[in-house]
Every structure is written in C-alpha cells, then in structure tokens.
Amino acid sequence: MSREIPTELTLEIASLSVSTSLERERAEGLGPALERAFAALAERLRQLPGGEQARLDALLIERLELELDDAESLLGPGGPEALAERLLDRLLTQAKGGA
C-alpha cells in the first residue's frame, strides 16, 4: 500500500521566544526573517520522502532549542533558508531518536 504524500503541511508553533542584543531596528527585522525561515522549513518538510515524513508525522517536539550563532546572519541573504536547514536537521535527528 503506497502512502500518499500530503499536499498541505501546517506548522503549529505554540510559542517562539527570541532573545537578542541587536539594536531595536535590527531586532524588529527578526520577525519577518523567522517567518521566512519557517515557511522554508514547511516547504522542506513537504518535500521529504515518505519514510522520513512518516517519522515526523508521529513526532511531537515539546521544545526545540537552537542558538543562532549570529542573529545578523539571519537577516542577511540566505539567512532564513540556512536556519530552515538547521531546524530540519534537528527535527530529523529528534525523529530518529537522536539528541
């Protein structure tokens, strides 16, 4: 029996807390950059092969911590996409029973 790949994926984020020492004007840019990062993450999750998707379907992550080495890098070109890749790697690691 083949598994149908979902055409829609919803990321439900109950809480997102961000602390930064950036100046206010720069820090305000983090919101839109994080939105782009999570949109890119949703697209990457949608493209996972069926087996990987099945593992994530059953996964409930209560807390995922990821420190940004440099918040400025999130605001630069490719920053949201790079964060999406890091988040995907962490999610897949946790889905496989890793740290």
The predicted structure's pLDDT at residue 22: 76
Give the global pTM: 0.67
Radius of gyration for the alpha carbons in the chain, expressed in angstroms and rounded: 15
Domain ranges in the chain are 24-95
Q: How far apart are CA 54 and CA 68, in angstroms?
A: 28
More confident of the two residues 52 and 74:
74
The predicted structure's pLDDT at residue 94: 76
